[in-house]
Amino acid sequence: MEISHPIDYAERFKYPGLALGLSLVIGPMELAAGSVLVGVVVARASLPTLKRTLASIQTTGRPSVDLLDTLWILFHTVTGELLAPALAICLTEAGNTLRDLTAMAGQRQMPELVPNRQYWIERNGRRRLVLLKHLAVGDHVLLGSGDLVPADGTMISGQGLLDQSALTGASGLLSRSTGDKLFATTVVIKGQLVLEIKRLGGETRASRMAEKIADKSQQDTRVSNLMEEMGNRAVIPAIATGAFLFAVTGNVHKGLAPLQLDFAQGVGIGAPIPVLTSMQVSTTNQVLVRGGHALEQLAKVDAVLFDKTGTLTERGTEIVDVHVANGSVSVQEMLYWAASASYYVLRPFSVALVQHVERQGIVLEPCDPLDYSDVGVVARVKDSEITVGSIHFFEERGIAVDAEYHRMHKGVILDRSIRYVARDGELLGTVFYTNPLRPESATAINALHGLGIECYLLTGDNSKAANAVAYKLNIKPGNTYAEASSKRKAELVNKIRSQHQSVAYIGDGTNDLPAMASSDVAISFRHASDLARESADVVLLDDSLLGLPYGITMARRAMRIVHQNIVIVTVANVAVVAGGIFLDLSPLVSVMVNNGSTLLAGLNGLRPLQDAQRQDPEIENAMNRDDKGLLGIPWRKRKRDGVGQLLTGRG
């Protein structure tokens, strides 16, 4: 993303540079008029510091460390010590500029995350095809089945069935017609309609929801905020100490020495630079970290909680087997009923089932679902009520599935998931499907284990499939939680947080939002659902899980440098104050040590640029435990050791 260069160097350094130059040339001449001229220029150069001081008092009701700098510059200027304050102002501006340049470099590399969807619109009487980012308030957008509503607005013609689960979190189809309001992220399931745009982008209801979840990522690092708070609290004691020393000794230099206790300002330059630099390098390497607070929490992560479908597995669903429960129907007939009921449900399993059946040449009878969720659908097909769903979906609707029938299929031990099919309450059979594991999942989890990070699996899938995936990826049985709803996932996140320093949750769907909001660090993918991506603190831009251990490693290094810079600035600051009080250190030497340490810290903060190239571990398929090994485990013999949890679904 290209942005203009906002720093006006001439304006920023005009008065500080002039003050330093005049103090070097005119100062040694000891001319009264010259000293007055230099003093006026120094005072003008210090005006930004004075403005920050007044703004802080007006905003917080108390002074900040800028007050110490203002008083130090003022008193030295009045006493004729002009070179030291001029040099201090120049070095301070140099540090601020280094920080701003680092921030701008990161902004220039900020990726465009919003997909370039295209929409047919009517504008000024003409129909045209435009990108999402070129839509405008007042446009009439033509939408059909499968389209994502791009903005908030009003239907001016047509009618249709819409899915608002991405916005509300509740499954179910809503019928909408002329005059009804529509909201961004809603999906048109069936019908044709025209939307008049009323609100776009950040003004939509969906964007406001995402902003509430993402607010935490916009904060600075906690450690820099803490140091700033400590520095601000030291302002009044420093002024009082200086006044006391001057009263006791009558020495101006000793009285002004405590006013250099402005380590918070040095931290304000030395701490952000490694954070901004690391964020810049991470973005270049396909890991977007949104804000200093997110990076600081990422560095502390000692537990990562994974969603399963679309996160540890591929997003695509594959139908792998079909089983008829009794001889009342054939396989083709059962597939006809199941796919017809699922035709208008835009969920991965339903879409895969319809495609699987249509490839076999079976002609379907599309129908509107009566009820559906992520784990099932109920629809009326040719006067029969067809139910397709998980065993819990069936239990909630009073449809019995024989427990022995459920257990007898060895597919439930593999990383396969199950959907049952029933007609008018009678079980017809079972459809097995799978989401293949991502090729890098095992390598990424192994890398996290190497960083001392505990891995958990949270999924809404059945316990057998969840535990099989956990086994193949070497996730502990006790760290696997299956059949968890969105609300349950959030509860589990809070429970696990109490056992760890910082917890990251990674998911890709709208159903993951409550868990993401409950975690310390929310992580998603570039091609995740819009709300999941926009609500995340960290976005894996290349959709690879290997970006996760890389991002954590970079964050940890950045925070080590932040702590190094705090030590550099604080030690130098305290040494200057002590030297001024006990050794009568000259103001010029004090400035060179104090402000020089700030510049040194800033340069130290650029060290992450040395590791600009991301080095991922090689993907080793051998890390995946295969199905054969899973089936070969003597389950009953090892049950006492906890492996039996894989069969029972506990944990």
The label of the residue with tokens 């009264």 reads 32
Give the separation between CA 551 and CA 469, rounded to whole angstroms.
Answer: 24
Question: 118-213, which class in CATH?
Answer: mainly beta
State the pLDDT at residue 217. 39
The label of the residue with tokens 């502990």 reads 476
Give pLDDT tens digits for 525-546.
Answer: 988 876 678 778 999 999 999 9
What's the one-letter identity of residue 279?
M
What is the pLDDT confidence band of residue 251, given thresholds at 50, 70 and 90?
A: confident
| 38 vs 9, more confident | 38
Residue extent(s) of CATH 3.40.1110.10 domains in the chain: 318-434
Q: Do 549 and 451 meet the contact criterion of CB atoms below 8 Å apart?
A: yes
Share of the chain above pLDDT 70, in %: 83
> Residues 196-205: what's their mean pLDDT?
86
Please state the pTM of the whole predicted model: 0.71
> Residues 327-343: what's their mean pLDDT?
91
> Residues 464-491: what's their mean pLDDT?
87
Interior angle at CA 70, CA 66 and CA 76, nearest 5: 145
State the pLDDT at residue 272. 84
Give the separation between CA 459 and CA 496, rounded to whole angstroms.
Answer: 15
pLDDT tops 70 at residue 416: no
Question: 318-434, which class in CATH?
Answer: alpha beta
Residue extent(s) of CATH 2.70.150.10 domains in the chain: 118-213
State the pLDDT at residue 1. 39
Provide φ and ψ at 51, rounded to 5°. -65, -40
pLDDT tops 50 at residue 588: yes
What is the pLDDT confidence band of residue 636, given thresholds at 50, 70 and 90?
A: very low
Residues 6+ apart with CB under 8 A from 535: 210, 213, 214, 513, 516, 517, 522, 524
Helices (H), 451-485: 463-472
What secondary structure does DSSP assign to 579-640, as a single string?
HHHHS---HHHHHHHHHHHHHHHHHHTTGGGGG-S--PPPP-GGGSPPHHHHHTS-HHHHGG
Q: What is the DSSP letter of 308?
A: I
What is the pLDDT confidence band of residue 166, given thresholds at 50, 70 and 90?
A: low
State the pLDDT at residue 406. 63
State the pLDDT at residue 222. 61
State the pLDDT at residue 85. 83
Q: Do 205 and 167 meet the contact criterion of CB atoms below 8 Å apart?
A: yes
Average pLDDT, the chain: 81
User: 587-604 and 263-270 are packed helices; what angle lies between their axes, rounded to 10 degrees?
Assistant: 30
pLDDT tops 50 at residue 641: no
What is the pLDDT confidence band of residue 357, given thresholds at 50, 70 and 90?
A: very high
What is the pLDDT confidence band of residue 467, given thresholds at 50, 70 and 90?
A: confident
Number of Cβ within 10 Å of residue 154's Cβ equals 14
What is the pLDDT confidence band of residue 403, given thresholds at 50, 70 and 90?
A: low
What is the pLDDT confidence band of residue 213, given thresholds at 50, 70 and 90?
A: very low
> Residues 301-324: what's their mean pLDDT?
89
> Residues 361-367: what's their mean pLDDT?
89
Partnered with residue 503 across adjacent β-strands are 303
| 118 vs 606, more confident | 606
State the pLDDT at residue 224. 63
Give the distance, in angstroms, between the CA of residue 416 and the centroid of all CA atoms in the same chain: 30
> Residues 77-85: what's their mean pLDDT?
80
> Residues 495-519: what's their mean pLDDT?
90
